[in-house]
Structure 1
Amino acid sequence: MPKSKVVITDFINPPLHHEEKILGDIAEVEALNAFSEDDLTGKIENADAIMLYHFISLTEKTINRLENCKLIVRCGVGFDNVDRALAREKGINVANVPDYGTEEVADSAIGMMLTLTRGVHYMNNRLQRGAGPWIYEQVKPTHRLRGRTFGIIGVGRIGTATALRAKALGMRVIYYDPHVPDGRDKSLGIERIEELDDLLSQSDVVSAHCPRTDETQHMINDETIAKMKPGAFLVNTARGGVVDAHAVLRAIEGDHLRGAALDVLETEPPEEDDPLMVAWRNPSHPAYDRLILNPHAAFYSEEGLDDMRIKGSQNCLRVLNGQKPRNVVN
Structure 2
Amino acid sequence: MLPQIVITDFIDDDLQVERDILLGVADVRALNAHSESELQGQIEQAAAIMMYHNLSLSAATIDRLQDCRLIVRCGVGFDNVDRVRARQRGIPVANVPDYGTEEVADSAIAMALSLARGVHFYNQRLRHTPDPWEYRVAAPIHRLRDRVFAVVGLGRIGTATALRAKACGMTVRFYDPYKPDGYDKALGVERVESLQTLLAEAQILSVHCPLTPETHHMINAESLSWMPRGGYLVNTARGAVVELGAVTEALRSGQLAGAAIDVLPDEPPTADNVLLAAWRDPQHPAHERLIINPHSAFYSEEGLIDMRRKGSQACLRAITGKPLRNIVN
Q: TM-score, normalised by structure 2?
A: 0.99
Q: Aligned with 1:51: secondary structure?
A: strand
Equivalent position of 1:167 in the other structure: 166
Equivalent position of 1:34 in the other structure: 33
Q: Distance in 2 between matches of 1:259 and 1:184?
A: 30
Q: How does 1:127-166 map to 2 (within 5 A)?
A: 127-130=126-129, 132-166=131-165
Q: Aligned with 2:27: secondary structure?
A: strand
Q: For residue 66 of structure 1, what is the amino acid of its counterpart?
A: L
Q: Distance in 1 between matches of 2:259 and 2:276?
A: 14
Q: Aligned with 2:245: secondary structure?
A: helix
**8 Å Cα contact 2:247-2:275 kept in structure 1:** no
Deviation at 1:131, TM superposition (A): 5.1
Task: Give the gaps of 5 or more residues in structure 2.
Answer: none
Deviation at 1:327, TM superposition (A): 0.3
Equivalent position of 2:57 in the other structure: 58
Backbone CA RMSD of aligned residues: 0.8
Q: Aligned with 2:55: secondary structure?
A: coil
1:112-170 CA distances to partner (integer Å, 9 max, x unpaired)?
00000011111101111225411100111100000100000011110110011000000
Equivalent position of 1:177 in the other structure: 176
Equivalent position of 1:109 in the other structure: 108
**Structure 1 residue ranges, 4+ long, deviating more than 6 angstroms after superposition:** none
**8 Å Cα contact 1:132-1:138 kept in structure 2:** no
Equivalent position of 1:327 in the other structure: 326
Equivalent position of 1:203 in the other structure: 202
Q: Aligned with 1:298: secondary structure?
A: coil
Q: For residue 200 of structure 2, what is the amino acid of its counterpart?
A: S
Q: Distance in 2 between matches of 1:272 and 1:28?
A: 39
Q: Distance in 2 between matches of 1:246 and 1:33?
A: 32
Deviation at 1:212, TM superposition (A): 0.5
Q: Distance in 1 between matches of 2:259 and 2:278?
A: 13
Q: For residue 260 of structure 1, what is the amino acid of its counterpart?
A: A
Q: Distance in 1 between matches of 2:324 and 2:244?
A: 35
**8 Å Cα contact 2:244-2:274 kept in structure 1:** no
1:242-297 CA distances to partner (integer Å, 9 max, x unpaired)?
11122101111111111100000100110123222111111111111001110000
Q: For residue 88 of structure 1, what is the amino acid of its counterpart?
A: R
Equivalent position of 1:290 in the other structure: 289
Q: Aligned with 2:291: secondary structure?
A: strand
Q: Distance in 1 between matches of 2:176 and 2:274?
A: 32
Q: Aligned with 2:43: secondary structure?
A: coil
Q: Distance in 2 between matches of 1:132 and 1:246?
A: 32
**8 Å Cα contact 2:107-2:297 kept in structure 1:** yes
Equivalent position of 1:218 in the other structure: 217
Task: Give the gaps of 5 or more residues in structure 1.
Answer: none
Deviation at 1:31, TM superposition (A): 0.5
Q: For residue 325 of structure 2, what is the amino acid of its counterpart?
A: R
Q: For residue 148 of structure 2, what is the amino acid of its counterpart?
A: T
**8 Å Cα contact 1:126-1:132 kept in structure 2:** no
Q: TM-score, normalised by structure 1?
A: 0.98
Equivalent position of 1:278 in the other structure: 277
Among all aligned residue pairs of Structure 1 and Structure 2, give the percentage whose two residues are the same amino acid. 60
**8 Å Cα contact 2:259-2:290 kept in structure 1:** yes
